């Protein structure tokens, strides 16, 4: 296995953190529409992927937010699994991360620290550049689909909305996170 120190990254993103891309989700349609009491709409085909393709300024190919004008600067969502672990511990209930409907589920770095910053992820196919924008705030659906109390518990742990600034591919498994400044490890920030 190649050491993270042996991997060349973007010159303007000198700090690297070894992370894991645990899950990738691509959904061609919104599933949380209408009233939460009515339940989520059914999936249209498999949503969990081992590999996704990204296009600069457009998002994840095949996802509901791909090239959506209403989601400028929000076409891809990342969430830190350590934050969801803290939500589960606080609620005393298991949390299925996929019910949050984020696209990239990361372990090993404080995803919330990526807001307003450039970063890149390299899972073996070359770095994909992103810019973090605003928080991916939880919605009322979280109380219904994740667990009672999740809407409030996920505040500050809902992830970050971002846009890809380069074309590329992400795969599940080991990855390198490249940032412009050091990012806290995921477990250090989970207790927000």
**At a CB cut-off of 8 Å and minimum separation 6, what does 34 contact?**
none
Q: Give the residues across from 48 on adjacent strands.
A: 25
Q: Give the residues across from 130 on adjacent strands.
A: 119, 164
Q: How buried is residue 70: exposed, middle or buried, by Cβ count under 10 Å (0-12/13-18/19+)?
A: exposed
| Euclidean distance between CA atoms 78 and 170, whole angstroms | 12
pLDDT over 70 for what percent of the chain? Answer: 92
Mean pLDDT over residues 12-30, rounded? Answer: 94
Domains and CATH numbers, the chain: 50-184 (2.40.33.20)
pLDDT band at 73; cut points 50, 70, 90: confident
Query: Given the DSSP bridges, would you call strands 48-49 and 104-107 parallel, antiparallel or unpaired?
Result: unpaired
| Euclidean distance between CA atoms 45 and 74, whole angstroms | 23
What is the structure's pLDDT at 37? 78
Residue-wise pLDDT tens digits, 171-184:
999 999 999 999 99
**The pair of three-digit structure tokens given for residue 64, joined into one six-digit string:** 């509901």
Beta strand residue intervals within 51-188, DSSP E: 51-55, 59-60, 76-80, 104-107, 118-122, 128-135, 160-164, 168-171, 173-179
Full-prediction pTM beyond 0.75? yes
Residue-wise pLDDT tens digits, 86-98:
999 999 999 999 9
């Amino acid at each position: 296995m190649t050491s993270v120190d042996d991997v060349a990254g973007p010159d303007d993103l000198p700090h690297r953190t070894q992370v894991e891309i645990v899950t990738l989700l691509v959904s061609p349609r919104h599933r949380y529409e209408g009233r939460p009491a009515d339940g989520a709409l059914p999936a249209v085909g498999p949503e969990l992927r081992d590999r996704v393709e990204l296009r600069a300024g457009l998002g994840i190919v095949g996802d509901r937010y791909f090239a959506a004008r209403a989601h400028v600067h929000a076409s891809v969502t990342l969430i830190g699994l350590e934050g969801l672990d803290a939500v589960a511990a606080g609620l005393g209930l298991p949390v299925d991360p996929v019910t949050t409907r984020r696209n990239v589920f990361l372990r090993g770095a404080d995803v919330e620290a990526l807001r307003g910053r450039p970063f890149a992820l390299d899972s073996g196919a070359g770095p994909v550049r992103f810019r973090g924008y605003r928080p991916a705030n939880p919605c009322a659906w979280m109380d219904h689909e994740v667990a009672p109390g999740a809407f409030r518990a996920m505040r500050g742990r809902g992830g970050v909305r971002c846009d890809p600034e380069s074309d590329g591919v992400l795969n599940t498994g080991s990855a390198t996170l490249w940032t412009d400044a050091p990012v806290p490890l995921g477990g250090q920030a989970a207790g927000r």
